[in-house]
Amino acid sequence: MNMSSAATDPRSIPARLNLLLAVLALTMSGWLWIALPLLLPALPALGWSLLIVVLATTFYWSLLHEGIHAVLLPDRRLNDALSRLLAIGFPAPFAVLRFGHLKHHQFNRTAIDRSEVFDPALTTRSAAAWRYYPQLLIGLYASEVAALLLVWLPPAWLLRLAQRLPAEPGLPSLAQSLERQLLKPDTLRAMRLDSLMSMALMTCSVWLYGTHAWMLLLALLGRGLLISLTDNAYHYATPLHAPGDDVRQARQLDLPRWASALILHFNYHATHHRHPALPWSKLPAAASAQDRQFAQPYVRALLRQLRGPIALKETPGRPKFSCPPRSLQAARIRLRPSCRRAAWSRGPHPPRGSASRPWGR
């Protein structure tokens, strides 16, 4: 399943705007890694500018996300080249980010993509919490940065690691996808080249920061917190996948229009999961009335994850399906003909085995 390029009309991509935004993102990246440490000895107060860089983390990731789905630029080669450049300053190999995110779409809410869920028959809530909170607060970003080193492992080792992950009935093996898509010789060479460039950039930056290297470390920790904390907020306590079910479970989060635009409407996540080939600028028009009505406040959804892991038996039940109330023709993109949607954003549903207890915890 190639979710990055399915039926996208190139005319729907705001290429000029995306290019300007990419220049802005690369400028911030250059400021973080090179320009700021050169200026710090003369102007230490400039260190406060790192707050802006950290707060722009979701914007930066959202641009990368457009590149992952091949809707950053209409030309695929330019799209991937610019995305790789952005990923070097992230820093993580772009091919790894793309593979991981597209597998998230494919394996959403399966046993390998539901970090908050634990089985009481196999572990305790406290033991699950020890794994859950590090993953929530820094784990996702740490694993992406760690890929700079993992890409140098022998492919056979990586395949053995992937084979240890649980399989999902009705879905392909992750190890097979890894071998077919990520461990091809040309892809492996590209990942290792990106890794070398990222590590050279990081090494040079640490040297330039010198005694101020703690500022860089704090900025990267802040970036890691925002990446990891915001990533699962759209899926925390949503229905789990079952064989034959739709894997497009996601939650819409509410933000003022200006704030939503600053993160390229990434909060329209339920809409994105239904239509992953839709460029960011078209998401508001594609959102259904139910999406808007039942969208949860953004900050509340982030903080809700701090409630901790959820027992398997306490996970919510399946949402109801309905047809979209509006046409997406104005978005100038070809969408799947089926109108049966898996939009968790349509409101609360009782957990499995309960008719009265509210969803979640």
Residue 247, pLDDT score: 62
Read off the tokens for 314. Answer: 């306490």
Give the range among 29-38, 188-197, 220-229, 317-326 with minimum mean pLDDT. Answer: 317-326
* Residue 337 DSSP one-character state: S
Per-position b or e across 32-56, b if 16+ CB within 10 A of its CB: bbebbbeebeeeeeebebbeebbeb
Residue 360, pLDDT score: 30
- What is the per-residue pLDDT across 294-333, written as a single tens digit (0 to 9) for each? 789 999 999 999 999 999 988 876 554 444 444 444 444 4
Q: Read out DSSP for 237-294? A: TPPPP-TTS-------EE--HHHHHHTTTTT-HHHHHH-TTS-GGGHHHH--HHHHHH
**Where are the strands (E) in the chain, listed by range?**
117-118, 253-254, 296-297, 310-311
Q: Is 7 left (phi over 0), alpha (psi -120 to 50) or beta?
A: left
Contact 332, 12 (CB under 8 A): yes
Report the C-alpha gap between 209 and 117 in whole angstroms: 41
- What is the per-residue pLDDT across 88-98, written as a single tens digit (0 to 9) for each? 999 999 999 99
Strands 310-311 and 117-118: parallel
- Cα separations (Å) of 271 from 13, 147, 238? 17, 29, 15
Residue 45, pLDDT score: 97
- What is the per-residue pLDDT across 107-136, written as a single tens digit (0 to 9) for each? 888 888 899 999 999 999 999 999 999 999
Residue 110, pLDDT score: 85
Does position 81 have pLDDT exceeding 90, yes or no?
yes
Nearest to 72 by CA among 13, 27, 113: 13
Residue 244, pLDDT score: 60
Report the C-alpha gap between 46 and 43 in whole angstroms: 6
Nearest to 349 by CA among 290, 299, 303: 290
Q: How confident is the model at residue 257 (pLDDT cuts 50, 70, 90)?
A: very high
Residue 299, pLDDT score: 96
Mean pLDDT (whole number) for 44-64: 98
Report the C-alpha gap between 219 and 205 in whole angstroms: 13
Nearest to 84 by CA among 100, 74, 97, 69: 97
Contact 33, 89 (CB under 8 A): yes
Residue 245, pLDDT score: 64
pTM, two decimals, is: 0.84
Report the C-alpha gap between 74 and 10 in whole angstroms: 5
Report the C-alpha gap between 55 and 59 in whole angstroms: 8
- Mean pLDDT in the chain? 85
Residue 250, pLDDT score: 87
Phi, psi of 297 (to 5 degrees): -60, 135
Report the C-alpha gap between 181 and 354 in whole angstroms: 42
Give the range among 73-87, 208-222, 227-241, 242-256 with minimum mean pLDDT. Answer: 242-256
Q: How confident is the model at residue 167 (pLDDT cuts 50, 70, 90)?
A: confident
